């Protein structure tokens, strides 16, 4: 097997490791330590090639000193054994990983064979690039090239590195974290990488339905909030037959969760069902809502509005009219009482004058 390392320039360097897989594109100027590691790999391979050449030259010169030949052969085999012993494979422990938005997730890889990874360089990135979700080098976390969205949310379980296990904890995952993760591990003499997929989901709220009755017919709008990714909306008739004449729209909030709206024209003579289904989980958040045909009894809206307005007006005017009636009745009674008092006062006045006159005449 021929191992090759190609370097074009420091602005666009590309390393192909010993596995023959395409490695992340590295910027030599911003990451000089990666360039040093590349030089180490080249140096080790050059030493091995030089040893090959020496053996062949000695064979060509027909060496008769068997002890020297044996010594060189042992050195050669020792170098090969050392080179082979440094080789390892990065394996994703589980992929894909499914999780719910808002939970904590652990991305797990391990080395095969099981070797100590404490002194190795470990990087986990979202794409084959120099931006890392997490970077570990010489026993310490490197935050200079870490993606901003992952700062303060990631933690490497260092206790497992001795056993070749690489476990990265990501706290409070959201839609931003959904996707492919690449893990590369580099020792002094070898490099390997692998990837896994993180699939995040979120079930939305129960469907809420609104019905409007317009001139063109009855329209039903089914709505649900807090979904990720976008769900499918299922409309069915009473026989379970899908209804395809629906229109869908969605909006995204600050957390990148989706609110989904589905609008459909419904038949007054055919009950309709509505529910939302998660594409990835293949489950619905709750049983569908049935639009009963009793809701489809169409009434003249002008007549309905007239009845409603009349009822409202009556509820206000009846108490007022009753109050006015009471006031008028009271006024009439007061007027009648006033007239009686006036008549009584006149009679009393006349009697008083009559008595006074009689008294005066008697004296």
Among 107, 147, 114, which residue's Cα sits nearest to residue 129? 147
* More confident of the two residues 356 and 261: 261
CATH classification (class only), 89-201: mainly beta
Judged by DSSP in three states, 197 sits in: strand
Q: What is the mean pLDDT of residues 138-161?
A: 91
pLDDT value for 247:
87
Please say if the pLDDT value at position 10 is more than 90: no
pLDDT tens per residue across span 208-251:
888 877 666 778 888 999 999 999 888 888 788 888 878 889 99
Among 149, 250, 259, which residue's Cα sits nearest to residue 205? 259
Confidence tier at 322 by pLDDT (50, 70, 90):
confident
pLDDT value for 353:
80
pLDDT value for 8:
34
Is 208-296 in CATH node 2.60.120.10?
Answer: no
Confidence (pTM): 0.58
Please say if the pLDDT value at position 70 is more than 90: no
Q: What is the mean pLDDT of residues 115-124?
A: 93
Burial of residue 97 (CB within 10 Å: 0-12, 13-18, 19+) is middle
pLDDT value for 311:
75
For 138-281, strand residue ranges (E) read 140-141, 154-156, 165-170, 179-186, 191-201, 208-214, 217-227, 232-237, 246-252, 258-266, 272-277
For the chain, how big is the Rg over CA atoms in Å?
A: 45
Distance CA 10, CA 33 (A): 13
Do residues 153 and 93 make contact, with C-beta atoms less than 8 angstroms apart? Answer: no
pLDDT tens per residue across span 272-306:
788 888 878 777 655 555 565 555 555 445 556 66
Confidence tier at 150 by pLDDT (50, 70, 90):
very high
Distance CA 341, CA 337 (A): 6
Distance CA 214, CA 293 (A): 17
- Tokens for 189, please give them: 């003499």
CA distances from 340 to 311, 344, 349, 354 (A): 43, 6, 14, 21
Judged by DSSP in three states, 333 sits in: helix
Do residues 239 and 270 make contact, with C-beta atoms less than 8 angstroms apart? Answer: no
* More confident of the two residues 54 and 209: 209
Distance, C-alpha 230 to centroid of its chain: 10
Beta-strand pair 232-237/217-227: unpaired
């Amino acid at each position: 097997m021929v191992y090759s390392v190609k370097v074009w320039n420091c602005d666009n360097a590309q390393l192909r490791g010993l596995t023959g897989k395409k490695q992340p594109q590295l910027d030599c100027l911003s990451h000089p330590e990666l360039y040093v590691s590349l030089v180490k790999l080249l140096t080790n391979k050059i030493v091995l090639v030089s040893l090959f050449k020496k053996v062949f030259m000695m064979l060509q010169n027909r060496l008769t000193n068997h002890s020297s030949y044996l010594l060189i052969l042992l050195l050669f085999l020792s170098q090969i054994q050392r080179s082979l012993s440094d080789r390892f494979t990065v394996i994703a422990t589980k992929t894909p990983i499914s999780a719910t938005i808002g939970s904590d997730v652990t991305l797990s890889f391990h080395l095969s064979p099981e070797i100590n990874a404490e002194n190795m360089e470990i990087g986990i990135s979202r794409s084959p690039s120099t931006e890392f979700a997490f970077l570990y080098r010489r026993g310490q976390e490197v935050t200079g090239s870490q993606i901003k969205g992952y700062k303060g949310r990631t933690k490497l379980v260092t206790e497992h590195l001795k056993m070749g296990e690489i476990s990265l904890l990501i706290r409070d995952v959201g839609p931003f974290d959904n996707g492919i993760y690449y893990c590369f591990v580099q020792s002094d003499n070898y490099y390997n990488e692998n990837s896994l997929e993180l699939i995040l989901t979120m079930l939305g709220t129960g469907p809420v339905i609104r019905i409007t009755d317009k001139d063109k017919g009855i329209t039903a709008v089914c709505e649900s909030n807090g979904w990720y990714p976008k769900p499918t909306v299922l409309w069915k008739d009473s026989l379970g037959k899908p209804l395809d004449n629906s229109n869908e729209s969605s909006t995204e909030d600050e957390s990148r969760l989706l609110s989904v709206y589905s609008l459909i024209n419904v038949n007054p003579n055919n009950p309709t069902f509505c529910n939302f289904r998660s594409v990835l989980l293949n489950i619905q958040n709750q049983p569908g809502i049935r639009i009963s045909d009793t809701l489809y009894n169409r009434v003249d809206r002008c007549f309905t509005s007239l009845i409603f307005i009349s009822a409202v007006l009556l509820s206000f005017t009846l108490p007022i009219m009753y109050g006015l009636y009471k006031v008028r009745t009271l006024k009439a009674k007061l007027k009648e009482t006033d007239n009686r008092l006036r008549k009584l006062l006149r009679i009393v006045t006349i009697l008083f004058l009559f008595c006074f006159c009689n008294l005066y005449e008697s004296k």
